[in-house]
Amino acid sequence: ETMATLLKEGLVEKTGTLRPRWFHEGVTLARREDGTPITVTQGDIRQIQMAKGAIRAGMDILLKEHGLSEKDIQHFYLSGGFGHYLNQHAAATMGLLASSWLPITTVLGNSSLEGALSILTNNEGIDTIKQIVATSHTIVLGNDPDFEETYISHLTF
């Protein structure tokens, strides 16, 4: 949310660079009780930028592996603690999620636990697990010839 706000307010350029006024000191978000500032620095923004680039590149590579594009996605699910607390609109503003996916996004919470319980308590659970295992394969993103270029293309905000 902070990153999205910094972008909306024009404090960070699309390249991920803080404007000159804040480049060296960072942007103060709040102050602790003792008065020391809590800041977002250029280094923090670079870390967010690299994580965002890797996540989006991973999504693109997975889509490519299955011959799909962003437009082909009909449902997008966010799960786990990260997905549960993620502000979807802020994530789209900074490019972490495709903005076209906002209307089709569902937050699931702890879906791994619910999924495990569903499989274990469903008569067809073992067959479902066997089907998933039989049709799954590992994709090593770093081995994909397009990963580096795709990663770099998603570094901008």
pTM more than 0.75: yes
CB of 23 within 8 A of CB of 12?
no
Measure Cα distances from 151 to 50, 52, 83, 113 in Å.
8, 9, 21, 31
Query: Cα separation of 57 and 139, whole Å?
Result: 13
Is pLDDT at 15 greater than 90 in this prediction?
yes
The pLDDT of residue 36? 97
Indicate the helix (H) or strand (E) that contains 27. Answer: strand 27-31
The pLDDT of residue 120 is above 90: no
Q: How confident is the model at residue 126 (pLDDT cuts 50, 70, 90)?
A: confident
pLDDT over 90 (residue 100): yes
Residue 129 has pLDDT above 90, yes or no: no
- Taking only the tens place, the pLDDT of each residue in 27-43 is 999 999 999 999 999 99
pLDDT in tens, 46-70: 999 999 999 999 999 999 999 999 9
Q: HSE on the CB side for 97, CA within 13 Å?
A: 24
Q: Identify the three-state secondary structure at position 64.
A: helix
